[in-house]
Copies of this chain bind each other. A is one copy, B any other.
Amino acid sequence: MSGAGTNTTLIASGRPGPVIILVEPQLAENIGMVARAMANFGLSELRLVKPRDGWPSGGGLPKGAQQAASGATHILTQAALFGDVPAAIADLNIVFATTARERGQMKRVMTPAEAMPEVAARIGAGQRAGILFGRERTGLENEEVSLADAILSFPVDPAFASLNLAQAVLLTGYAWFQASQGDAAPITGTVGEPARRESLLSLIDFVTGELDRIGYFHPEKRDGMVQNLRDILIRRGMSEQDVRSLRGALVALVRGRG
Protein backbone atom coordinates (compact mmCIF):
# COMPACT_ATOMS: atom_id res chain seq x y z
CA MET A 1 0.00 0.00 0.00
CA SER A 2 1.32 3.43 -0.82
CA GLY A 3 -0.38 6.80 -0.51
CA ALA A 4 -0.59 9.32 -3.30
CA GLY A 5 1.69 11.73 -1.48
CA THR A 6 1.63 15.28 -2.68
CA ASN A 7 0.91 14.60 -6.34
CA THR A 8 -1.43 17.02 -7.97
CA THR A 9 -3.65 16.05 -10.85
CA LEU A 10 -2.71 18.34 -13.71
CA ILE A 11 -4.56 18.67 -16.95
CA ALA A 12 -3.39 20.19 -20.19
CA SER A 13 -3.99 23.70 -18.93
CA GLY A 14 -2.14 23.06 -15.69
CA ARG A 15 -5.28 23.08 -13.56
CA PRO A 16 -5.65 20.22 -11.06
CA GLY A 17 -8.74 17.99 -11.25
CA PRO A 18 -10.62 15.64 -8.95
CA VAL A 19 -9.06 12.31 -7.98
CA ILE A 20 -10.82 9.21 -9.39
CA ILE A 21 -11.09 6.42 -6.80
CA LEU A 22 -12.11 2.90 -7.86
CA VAL A 23 -13.28 0.72 -4.98
CA GLU A 24 -12.49 -2.99 -5.46
CA PRO A 25 -12.55 -2.94 -9.27
CA GLN A 26 -12.73 -6.49 -10.60
CA LEU A 27 -11.34 -6.39 -14.13
CA ALA A 28 -7.97 -4.96 -15.12
CA GLU A 29 -9.50 -4.11 -18.49
CA ASN A 30 -12.03 -1.82 -16.80
CA ILE A 31 -9.24 -0.05 -14.90
CA GLY A 32 -7.53 0.56 -18.24
CA MET A 33 -10.73 1.91 -19.82
CA VAL A 34 -11.18 4.23 -16.84
CA ALA A 35 -7.65 5.56 -17.40
CA ARG A 36 -8.50 6.24 -21.04
CA ALA A 37 -11.70 8.08 -20.10
CA MET A 38 -9.77 10.14 -17.54
CA ALA A 39 -7.17 11.13 -20.14
CA ASN A 40 -9.92 12.31 -22.50
CA PHE A 41 -10.76 15.01 -19.98
CA GLY A 42 -7.32 15.76 -18.59
CA LEU A 43 -7.73 13.90 -15.30
CA SER A 44 -4.61 12.08 -14.17
CA GLU A 45 -4.80 10.97 -10.54
CA LEU A 46 -6.22 7.45 -10.12
CA ARG A 47 -6.51 5.60 -6.80
CA LEU A 48 -7.35 1.92 -6.46
CA VAL A 49 -8.85 0.40 -3.32
CA LYS A 50 -8.14 -3.34 -3.18
CA PRO A 51 -8.45 -4.27 -6.87
CA ARG A 52 -9.69 -7.87 -6.96
CA ASP A 53 -6.71 -9.23 -8.87
CA GLY A 54 -4.13 -7.05 -7.12
CA TRP A 55 -1.94 -4.46 -8.78
CA PRO A 56 1.78 -4.62 -9.47
CA SER A 57 3.69 -2.40 -7.03
CA GLY A 58 6.23 -1.10 -9.52
CA GLY A 59 7.31 -2.29 -12.92
CA GLY A 60 4.83 -3.83 -15.33
CA LEU A 61 1.08 -3.34 -15.62
CA PRO A 62 -1.64 -5.98 -16.02
CA LYS A 63 -1.79 -6.69 -19.75
CA GLY A 64 -5.55 -6.12 -20.07
CA ALA A 65 -5.30 -2.78 -18.29
CA GLN A 66 -2.51 -1.43 -20.49
CA GLN A 67 -4.23 -2.46 -23.72
CA ALA A 68 -7.58 -0.96 -22.70
CA ALA A 69 -5.92 2.28 -21.59
CA SER A 70 -5.10 2.89 -25.26
CA GLY A 71 -2.17 5.21 -24.57
CA ALA A 72 -3.18 6.54 -21.16
CA THR A 73 -0.50 4.38 -19.54
CA HIS A 74 0.92 7.24 -17.47
CA ILE A 75 -2.28 7.25 -15.41
CA LEU A 76 -1.96 3.52 -14.70
CA THR A 77 1.72 3.62 -13.75
CA GLN A 78 1.05 6.48 -11.33
CA ALA A 79 -2.08 4.88 -9.82
CA ALA A 80 -1.90 4.65 -6.02
CA LEU A 81 -3.05 1.58 -4.11
CA PHE A 82 -5.03 1.72 -0.83
CA GLY A 83 -6.33 -0.82 1.66
CA ASP A 84 -9.68 0.80 2.34
CA VAL A 85 -11.81 3.81 1.43
CA PRO A 86 -10.98 5.95 4.51
CA ALA A 87 -7.27 5.71 3.64
CA ALA A 88 -7.96 6.52 -0.02
CA ILE A 89 -9.84 9.73 0.83
CA ALA A 90 -7.85 10.77 3.90
CA ASP A 91 -6.24 13.84 2.30
CA LEU A 92 -9.33 15.02 0.40
CA ASN A 93 -11.52 17.99 1.37
CA ILE A 94 -14.59 17.10 -0.65
CA VAL A 95 -15.72 13.61 -1.63
CA PHE A 96 -18.57 12.37 -3.82
CA ALA A 97 -19.93 8.80 -3.97
CA THR A 98 -21.43 7.65 -7.28
CA THR A 99 -24.53 5.48 -7.21
CA ALA A 100 -27.55 4.76 -9.37
CA ARG A 101 -29.59 3.22 -6.53
CA GLU A 102 -31.64 4.87 -3.81
CA ARG A 103 -29.67 4.56 -0.60
CA GLY A 104 -31.95 6.16 1.94
CA GLN A 105 -28.92 8.09 3.12
CA MET A 106 -29.03 11.61 4.49
CA LYS A 107 -27.10 13.03 1.57
CA ARG A 108 -27.57 15.57 -1.15
CA VAL A 109 -27.93 13.90 -4.56
CA MET A 110 -26.27 15.88 -7.35
CA THR A 111 -25.78 15.31 -11.07
CA PRO A 112 -22.27 15.79 -12.50
CA ALA A 113 -23.44 19.03 -14.14
CA GLU A 114 -24.61 20.31 -10.74
CA ALA A 115 -21.61 19.08 -8.76
CA MET A 116 -18.68 19.94 -11.01
CA PRO A 117 -18.94 23.74 -10.78
CA GLU A 118 -18.68 23.33 -6.98
CA VAL A 119 -15.76 20.91 -7.40
CA ALA A 120 -14.01 23.37 -9.72
CA ALA A 121 -14.54 26.23 -7.26
CA ARG A 122 -13.22 24.19 -4.34
CA ILE A 123 -10.18 23.03 -6.32
CA GLY A 124 -9.62 26.61 -7.43
CA ALA A 125 -9.53 27.56 -3.74
CA GLY A 126 -6.77 25.00 -3.15
CA GLN A 127 -8.90 22.13 -1.84
CA ARG A 128 -8.63 18.52 -3.02
CA ALA A 129 -11.63 16.66 -4.38
CA GLY A 130 -12.28 12.98 -5.07
CA ILE A 131 -15.01 10.81 -6.56
CA LEU A 132 -15.69 7.23 -5.43
CA PHE A 133 -16.79 4.60 -7.97
CA GLY A 134 -17.97 1.21 -6.71
CA ARG A 135 -17.54 -2.40 -7.79
CA GLU A 136 -18.67 -3.36 -11.30
CA ARG A 137 -21.62 -5.45 -10.13
CA THR A 138 -22.57 -4.22 -6.72
CA GLY A 139 -21.39 -0.63 -6.57
CA LEU A 140 -20.42 1.05 -3.31
CA GLU A 141 -21.52 -0.29 0.06
CA ASN A 142 -23.74 1.97 2.17
CA GLU A 143 -20.92 2.41 4.67
CA GLU A 144 -18.67 3.68 1.90
CA VAL A 145 -21.34 6.05 0.60
CA SER A 146 -21.74 7.48 4.10
CA LEU A 147 -18.10 8.68 4.01
CA ALA A 148 -18.91 11.09 1.18
CA ASP A 149 -20.20 14.67 1.33
CA ALA A 150 -22.80 14.01 -1.33
CA ILE A 151 -24.04 11.44 -3.80
CA LEU A 152 -23.25 11.84 -7.49
CA SER A 153 -25.91 10.33 -9.73
CA PHE A 154 -26.14 10.40 -13.51
CA PRO A 155 -29.16 11.76 -15.42
CA VAL A 156 -30.01 8.63 -17.39
CA ASP A 157 -33.20 6.92 -18.51
CA PRO A 158 -34.50 5.30 -15.29
CA ALA A 159 -35.60 2.32 -17.40
CA PHE A 160 -31.94 1.65 -18.32
CA ALA A 161 -29.81 3.28 -15.66
CA SER A 162 -26.84 0.91 -15.56
CA LEU A 163 -23.58 2.53 -16.67
CA ASN A 164 -20.34 0.59 -16.79
CA LEU A 165 -17.38 1.85 -14.79
CA ALA A 166 -15.56 3.62 -17.62
CA GLN A 167 -18.78 5.23 -18.88
CA ALA A 168 -19.52 6.64 -15.42
CA VAL A 169 -15.98 8.04 -15.24
CA LEU A 170 -16.34 9.40 -18.79
CA LEU A 171 -19.50 11.35 -17.96
CA THR A 172 -17.91 12.65 -14.77
CA GLY A 173 -14.83 13.78 -16.68
CA TYR A 174 -16.98 15.43 -19.36
CA ALA A 175 -18.93 17.41 -16.76
CA TRP A 176 -15.68 18.35 -15.00
CA PHE A 177 -14.13 19.53 -18.27
CA GLN A 178 -17.19 21.62 -19.12
CA ALA A 179 -17.20 23.21 -15.65
CA SER A 180 -13.48 23.93 -15.58
CA GLN A 181 -12.54 24.49 -19.23
CA GLY A 182 -15.79 25.51 -20.83
CA ASP A 183 -17.56 23.72 -23.65
CA ALA A 184 -15.19 24.19 -26.56
CA ALA A 185 -14.61 21.77 -29.43
CA PRO A 186 -10.93 20.89 -29.98
CA ILE A 187 -11.28 21.74 -33.68
CA THR A 188 -12.51 24.92 -35.31
CA GLY A 189 -14.89 25.32 -38.18
CA THR A 190 -13.91 26.97 -41.44
CA VAL A 191 -17.25 28.49 -42.32
CA GLY A 192 -15.69 31.93 -42.81
CA GLU A 193 -17.20 35.30 -42.03
CA PRO A 194 -20.61 35.93 -43.59
CA ALA A 195 -20.27 37.58 -47.01
CA ARG A 196 -20.62 41.35 -47.27
CA ARG A 197 -24.14 42.24 -48.45
CA GLU A 198 -22.62 43.92 -51.52
CA SER A 199 -21.26 40.54 -52.73
CA LEU A 200 -24.62 38.83 -52.19
CA LEU A 201 -26.59 41.56 -53.97
CA SER A 202 -24.13 41.52 -56.88
CA LEU A 203 -24.66 37.76 -57.21
CA ILE A 204 -28.43 38.21 -57.09
CA ASP A 205 -28.23 40.94 -59.74
CA PHE A 206 -26.18 38.65 -61.95
CA VAL A 207 -28.64 35.77 -61.61
CA THR A 208 -31.77 37.87 -62.18
CA GLY A 209 -30.10 39.70 -65.11
CA GLU A 210 -29.28 36.42 -66.85
CA LEU A 211 -32.77 35.07 -66.15
CA ASP A 212 -34.27 38.29 -67.59
CA ARG A 213 -32.07 37.87 -70.67
CA ILE A 214 -33.43 34.37 -71.40
CA GLY A 215 -37.03 35.34 -70.63
CA TYR A 216 -37.34 33.07 -67.60
CA PHE A 217 -39.82 35.18 -65.62
CA HIS A 218 -43.52 35.54 -66.26
CA PRO A 219 -43.83 39.35 -66.36
CA GLU A 220 -46.68 39.48 -63.85
CA LYS A 221 -44.85 37.13 -61.43
CA ARG A 222 -41.34 38.55 -61.83
CA ASP A 223 -41.27 40.66 -58.64
CA GLY A 224 -42.34 37.77 -56.41
CA MET A 225 -39.97 35.32 -58.08
CA VAL A 226 -37.01 37.68 -57.76
CA GLN A 227 -37.83 38.21 -54.12
CA ASN A 228 -37.97 34.44 -53.55
CA LEU A 229 -34.56 34.00 -55.18
CA ARG A 230 -33.16 36.83 -53.08
CA ASP A 231 -34.54 35.19 -49.90
CA ILE A 232 -33.08 31.81 -50.86
CA LEU A 233 -29.62 33.20 -51.61
CA ILE A 234 -29.46 35.48 -48.58
CA ARG A 235 -30.86 32.89 -46.15
CA ARG A 236 -27.95 30.51 -46.78
CA GLY A 237 -25.56 32.51 -44.61
CA MET A 238 -22.91 32.25 -47.32
CA SER A 239 -19.33 33.42 -46.87
CA GLU A 240 -17.41 35.49 -49.43
CA GLN A 241 -15.82 32.26 -50.66
CA ASP A 242 -19.25 30.60 -50.94
CA VAL A 243 -20.52 33.51 -53.04
CA ARG A 244 -17.48 33.34 -55.32
CA SER A 245 -17.82 29.55 -55.72
CA LEU A 246 -21.53 29.73 -56.50
CA ARG A 247 -21.05 32.63 -58.92
CA GLY A 248 -18.31 30.71 -60.71
CA ALA A 249 -20.61 27.72 -61.17
CA LEU A 250 -23.48 29.92 -62.41
CA VAL A 251 -21.28 31.81 -64.85
CA ALA A 252 -20.11 28.48 -66.28
CA LEU A 253 -23.72 27.31 -66.62
CA VAL A 254 -24.66 30.50 -68.48
CA ARG A 255 -21.69 30.24 -70.84
CA GLY A 256 -22.35 26.57 -71.49
CA ARG A 257 -25.83 27.47 -72.66
CA GLY A 258 -24.83 30.66 -74.50
Contacts and interface: CB of A to CB of B under 8 A. Distances in A.
Interface class of chain A by DSSP: loop
Contact of A109 (B37, B111, B155, B185): B185
12 contacts: A42-B157, A70-B164, A100-B187, A106-B191, A109-B188, A113-B178, A153-B187, A156-B186, A157-B177, A161-B186, A166-B167, A167-B170
Nearest to A162: B70
Interface in A149-175: 151, 153-164, 166-167, 170-171, 174
Interface string A117-130: 00000000000000
Contact of A114 (B105, B110, B183): B183
A153 B39 contact: no
A248 B170 CA distance: 43
A186 B100 contact: yes
A105 to B, nearest CB: 7
